[in-house]
Amino acid sequence: MITYAIVDDEPIAHEIIEEFANELIQLKKVGNCYNAFEAIRLLQETSVDLLFLDINMPKLSGFEFLKTLSSPPNVIVTSAYKEFAIEGYDLEITDYLLKPFSFERFVKAVNRVSFSESKLKMTSEPQPQYLFIKGDKKHHQVYTNDILLIEAYGNYCKIHLEEETIITLQKISDFETGLPSDFIRVHKSFIIAKNKVKSIEGNTIHLKKQSIPIGQTYKNAIKKFFVD
């Protein structure tokens, strides 16, 4: 479960984010703040994993507020101004959503937080990592350990799981940047789970039920992970 708060001086922004967040079962709202000072008080009183943070706010801007925090939570900036994105990433934010943003873009940002939280909370018993994938007119919660491979399929992607296949409009490049290090791209059309590999023979990787070609430009990376 990821606890979140919204920090934005516009009520309509709160409504949009809450509407999107209500679709994702891993998110739990713990506060609505309409300026930075309310956010400071909330962080002093409540455990917050994620802030949806606007930049333009009265008295203290979003970035000025962020600079006051010694140990900030994950931050997804929500702003109508793209020119501040570089400054945001310099402050180590998780993502930068340009208003108005789509639900799909919102889910992509939250998935990045999910992976970050999973890494932070790992103990002797690792926490399962998951992401939400839109397919078949619904959003699937998918645990990364169940993914065998991801296949580019025209304008779509096929997510091959242990028991089913999900077809989504998300790009393979989105998964490449969002998945944990347990996955590796082996071809322009394929990302595979390293722990699902049975053998490598020539230019082919054999999984449990599929054989995947190795792309020429990916050979060195594959040697680094599977041969050395």
Q: Could you give the CA distance from residue 6 to residue 71 in angstroms, rounded to a whole number?
A: 18
Q: What is the pTM of this model?
A: 0.58
Number of residues assigned to the chain: 228
Domain at 130-226, CATH from 2.40.50.1020, 3.40.50.300, 3.90.1150.10, 1.10.3720.10: 2.40.50.1020
User: Which pLDDT tens digit goes with each residue over 37-72?
Assistant: 999 999 999 999 999 999 999 889 999 999 998 889
Q: Could you give the CA distance from residue 114 to residue 76 in angstroms, rounded to a whole number?
A: 12
Residue 202's Cα: distance from chain center in Å? 34
Q: Is the pLDDT of residue 8 over 90?
A: yes
CATH 3.40.50.2300, the chain: domain bounds: 2-120
Q: Is the pLDDT of residue 156 over 50?
A: yes
**What dotted CATH number matches 2-120?**
3.40.50.2300
What torsion do the CA atoms of 68, 71, 74, 76 make, to the nearest 10 degrees? 10
CATH 2.40.50.1020, the chain: domain bounds: 130-226
| Amino acid letter, residue 92 | E
Residue 12 binned pLDDT confidence (cut-offs 50, 70, 90): very high
Q: Could you give the CA distance from residue 54 to residue 215 in angstroms, rounded to a whole number?
A: 42
Name the token pair of 90. 């310099």
Output the pLDDT for position 122.
41
Q: Could you give the CA distance from residue 228 to residue 104 in angstroms, rounded to a whole number?
A: 38
Q: Could you give the CA distance from residue 108 to residue 95 in angstroms, rounded to a whole number?
A: 9
Q: Is 194 or 224 the better-scoring residue by pLDDT?
A: 194
Q: Distances from the Cα of 78 to the Cαs of 51, 173, 201, 222, in angstroms?
A: 10, 23, 47, 37
